[in-house]
Amino acid sequence: MIHLYIARHGQTEENVQRILQGQMPGHLTQEGVLQAETLRDKLRDVYFHEIYTSDLLRAEVTTRIISEPHGGRYVLEPLLRERDFGIHTGGPYIKIARALDPSAETMEDLAQRAADFLTKMVCNHETSAAQDVHILAVSHGLFLRVLQAVYHQCPVREIEKMENAEVRTLTLCQDMHFDISPLEETGGTAN
């Protein structure tokens, strides 16, 4: 069985300023660093077979801190990036329900990335019934909500927003398949 720990990056300066980061790098605040250190301490005794992180700076810096007790090893994974908000990136928070410019990544494409990541975890970490595998993935607010919606096969609005440096656990099995259905353009803002 695969235990997938999903964690959101620590607070960023852009979060505080209510800037829609999308695929911007983002810069952790002092609070964000403390949040990452607290999460590191919480996860210190979990043996992670693999640690994956979005390749966006705010997630990678969070992962560097979290991975210290695990030898500082992690894999950059572009599938874990936040939604690309196109021309809206760098502007003020917007409601996801609002019509976005066509330059923004669609929710369907975001859901497909989430399904691809979950499938990759199942395929790359096949286990026997006798061995559990623990994986950590550090990513972003909206992406992680969509990933959970794909996992639970429910609308994104039914997934509660993750706080900065919050961790949740999903259990994956070898026979799981992740179908995406058109997800509603609802559920708040991303960062």
Cα-atom radius of gyration of the chain, to the nearest Å?
16
Residue 154, phi then psi, degrees to nearest 5 = -140, 165
Q: Which of 53, 47, 54 is nearest to 21 (CA)?
A: 54
Residues 95-122, buried b or exposed e (16+ Cβ, 10 A)?
ebeeebeeebbebeebbbbbbebbbebb
Question: What's the per-residue H, E or C state across 26-74?
Answer: CCECHHHHHHHHHHHHHHCCCCCCEEEECCCHHHHHHHHHHCHHHCCCC
Query: Tokens 């927003």 correspond to what residue?
Result: 161
* Residues acting as catalytic residues: 9, 82
